[in-house]
């Protein structure tokens, strides 16, 4: 009996080990594979299809981490090649590019399975024709250029095989969905959308501002208290800090940079060519192929004709204006001839590898040789600016050492003859109790941010701003944010109550004006009653505004709800406004064929993309898709660490 149990146990163990071995060979074990992944492994992050036996998934098509990383890199390169600013890996990860890369790979697998199951075959000839007809792959002669084709693929970081596979898939997808014919929006719907989007309206606007509603009585003490009780936190006093700090920029220490005449003379000798101004000559030329033509032009000019007329007569061409040039700007042969004469005028024909040149010097601008005295001040400023950042770092290092010795900012600064500046009771934006900014400088935002992270009495380390300024700051006193008493805030509470009440009055007056305007009252007279005026807007569409007329935000939306000649009141940030529809400018598709065609393509593309998206979603449901979220997240955490 015991022997039988041992045999049965061995068979069971063998079966279990066999199942685990098969699972590792064919794919990951759900929940176990992730735990058993070793460093450097290429984890499965997504699987399409397969068979499920309990917790085990067998078969199907897997997408692994390396594939996702490669696709991520390709898509990031493509984005960066089209943008003037380059995204870093971390920025791309934050923007969700890894998810897009994985989704692209999953869609390829799903579509490939559908293409196979439906028996769709795309011939090599179809692929060749599509590539040959792609404008981007054509050379200067308008024909397919293999060099152009390979160059574009190289820039896209995909192989020829990958591109052909993607193209074959796109052609098959078009066949599956009938996208070229079936996804076209009917003309009647396209025209209706065009009319809706391009319809323009002209409005008359009357602003009813709360600030102008001066007939609101002053609040009573009871009203002030009621408003304060309901809105006390609105009047909170911000946290304030009294600070001591040392802040230095390179400009602050530039005057302390030591520089001698000997150093400046050495700099002058090294850079003398930068200060000397070489002679310049304004030159025109005629370029011909043979000497006979060149001589004929020169003879015509010698006979009294202008170079322009001589060139037209001899060659039928206009002269070439080279502009103001130095001797270095011209090839050696031309420069020697053009700069040989001391006076302006025609230069004898000169032969170069390009042909025969007939030159005319129009104007000579003499060169100038700079003296040390002329540029000494400039050299000194530049030298100080160059050395100042190093001296700045040295000063701050000295301050750090002094602080380590004495642990007191005032004493350390005094030892180094540095000025300690003081600020009393400022908020996080550097404003005093009256709202006035009492501190300014390139270090302001960084210094305040550091200061408001300190505990009372604590001194910061050396901070550096993006502009290169350095600072050390101490929080001398911290006054926490608090809710003021009613007496402390009474004036502000009364002002806030009055502002709210004036806005209420403005909303009421605006509604009265709209109602009376709809009863055919004169809008201009109604506007004057609230110390305002009627402003007529430009013709705008639903997606446009006219800030000059006050027509923006909710007023635009209301304008496109109105009937012609009707008015409505709209609440705004500073009160209210009345908008009246003065004129409708309908859009006519027949007179904007190009725009309608562009819109049609946009709508067709949107419809095609929507159709393709629905199709891919159906394939997901049919074949099944599983993602390992842990493996995927770990994959790009490693990417960020690297």
Classify each residue of 88-98 as buried b or exposed e, where b means 16 or more C-beta atoms within 10 Å of its C-beta: ebeebbeeebb
CATH match for 240-259+375-479 among 3.10.50, 1.10.1060, 1.25.40, 2.60.40: 3.10.50
Decide if 93 contacts 99 (C-beta within 8 A).
Answer: no
Q: What is the pLDDT of residue 297?
A: 92
Paired residues of 536 in beta bridges: 204
Tokens of 432: 């005093």
Low-confidence ranges of the chain (pLDDT < 50): 1-40, 179-181, 638-642
Tokens of 639: 């990417």
Tokens of 67: 């594939």
Strand residue runs (E) in 234-392: 240-248, 280-288, 320-326, 345-352, 355-365
Distance, in Å, from the CA atom of 150 to the CA atom of 174, rounded to the nearest integer, reads 25
Q: What is the pLDDT of residue 462?
A: 86
Please name the residues in contact with 471: beta carbons below 8 A apart, sequence gap of 6 or more: 245, 246, 247, 248, 443, 446, 447, 450, 460, 462, 463, 465
277-368: CATH topology is Chitinase A; domain 3 (3.10.50)
Q: What is the pLDDT of residue 532?
A: 95
pTM for the full predicted model:
0.52
200-233+488-585: CATH topology is Chitinase A; domain 3 (3.10.50)
Distance, in Å, from the CA atom of 523 to the CA atom of 516, rounded to the nearest integer, reads 8
- Give the pLDDT confidence of 283-292 residue by residue, as tens digits: 999 999 889 9
Q: What is the pLDDT of residue 39?
A: 38
DSSP secondary structure string, 431-468?
B-TTS-B---STTHHHHHHHHTTSPTT-B---EE-TTS
Decide if 284 contacts 326 (C-beta within 8 A).
Answer: no
- Give the pLDDT confidence of 141-184 residue by residue, as tens digits: 778 888 888 878 877 777 888 888 888 888 887 777 664 445 56
Show me where the domains of the chain are located.
1-157+612-642, 200-233+488-585, 240-259+375-479, 277-368
Q: What is the pLDDT of residue 55?
A: 59
Angle, to 10 degrees, between the axis of helix 261-275 and the axis of helix 372-406? 130
Same fold, 200-233+488-585 and 240-259+375-479: yes
């Amino acid at each position: 009996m015991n022997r039988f149990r041992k045999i049965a146990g061995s068979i069971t163990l063998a079966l279990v080990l066999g199942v685990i071995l098969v699972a590792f060979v064919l794919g990951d074990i759900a929940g176990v594979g992730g735990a058993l992944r070793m460093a450097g492994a290429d984890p499965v992050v997504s699987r399409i299809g397969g068979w499920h036996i309990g917790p085990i998934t067998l078969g199907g098509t897997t997408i692994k981490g390396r594939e996702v990383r490669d696709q991520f890199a390709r898509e990031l390169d493509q984005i960066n090649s089209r943008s003037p600013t380059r995204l870093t890996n971390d920025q791309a990860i934050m923007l969700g590019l890894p998810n897009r890369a994985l989704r692209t790979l999953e869609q390829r697998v799903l579509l490939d399975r559908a293409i196979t199951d439906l028996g769709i075959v795309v011939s090599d000839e179809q692929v060749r024709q599509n590539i040959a007809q792609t404008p981007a792959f054509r050379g200067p002669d308008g024909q397919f250029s293999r060099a152009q084709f390979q160059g574009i693929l190289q820039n896209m970081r995909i192989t020829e095989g990958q591109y052909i596979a993607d193209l074959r898939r796109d052609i098959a997808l078009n066949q599956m969905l009938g996208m070229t014919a079936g996804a076209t929006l009917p003309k009647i719907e396209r025209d209706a959308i065009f009319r809706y989007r391009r319809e323009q309206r002209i409005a008359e606007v009357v602003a009813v501002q709360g600030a102008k509603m001066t007939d609101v009585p002053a609040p009573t003490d009871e009203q002030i208290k009621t408003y304060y009780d309901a809105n006390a936190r609105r009047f909170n006093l911000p946290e304030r800090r009294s600070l001591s700090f040392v802040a230095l920029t390179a400009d602050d220490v530039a005057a302390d940079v030591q520089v001698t005449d000997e150093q400046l003379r050495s700099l002058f000798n090294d850079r003398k060519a930068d200060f000397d101004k070489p002679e310049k000559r304004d030159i025109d030329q005629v370029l011909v192929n043979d000497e006979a033509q060149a001589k004929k032009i020169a003879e015509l000019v010698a006979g009294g004709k202008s170079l322009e007329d001589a060139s037209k007569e001899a060659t039928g061409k206009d002269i070439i204006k080279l502009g103001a040039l130095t001797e270095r700007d011209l090839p050696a042969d031309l420069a020697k001839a053009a700069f040989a004469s001391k006076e302006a005028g025609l230069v004898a024909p000169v032969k170069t590898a390009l042909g025969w040149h007939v030159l005319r010097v129009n104007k000579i601008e003499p060169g100038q040789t700079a003296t040390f005295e002329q540029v000494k001040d400039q050299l000194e400023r530049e030298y100080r600016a160059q050395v100042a950042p190093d001296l700045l770092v040295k000063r701050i290092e000295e301050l750090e050492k002094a602080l380590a010795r004495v642990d007191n900012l005032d004493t350390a600064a005094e030892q180094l003859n540095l000025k300690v500046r003081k600020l009393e009771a400022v908020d996080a934006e550097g404003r005093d109790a009256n709202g006035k900014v009492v501190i300014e400088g390139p270090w302001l935002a960084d210094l305040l941010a550091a200061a408001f992270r300190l505990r009372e009495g604590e001194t910061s380390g050396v901070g550096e701003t993006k502009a290169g300024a350095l600072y050390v700051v101490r929080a001398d006193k911290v006054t926490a944010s608090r809710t003021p008493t009613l007496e402390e805030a009474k004036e502000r509470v009364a002002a806030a109550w009055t502002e709210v009440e004036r806005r209420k009055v403005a909303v009421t007056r605006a509604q009265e004006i709209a109602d009376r305007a709809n009863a055919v009252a004169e809008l201009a007279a109604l506007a004057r009653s609230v110390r305002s005026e009627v402003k007529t807007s430009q013709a705008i569409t639903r997606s446009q505004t006219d800030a000059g007329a006050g027509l923006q935000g909710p007023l635009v939306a209301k304008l496109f709800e109105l009937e012609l000649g009707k008015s409505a009141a709209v609440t705004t940030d500073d009160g209210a406004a009345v908008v009246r529809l003065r004129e409708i400018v309908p859009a006519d598709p027949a007179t904007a064929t190009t725009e309608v065609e562009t819109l049609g393509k946009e709508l067709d593309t949107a419809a095609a993309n929507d159709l393709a998206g629905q199709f891919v979603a159906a394939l997901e449901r049919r074949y099944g898709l599983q993602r390992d979220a842990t493996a995927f997240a770990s994959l790009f955490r490693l990417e960020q660490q690297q």
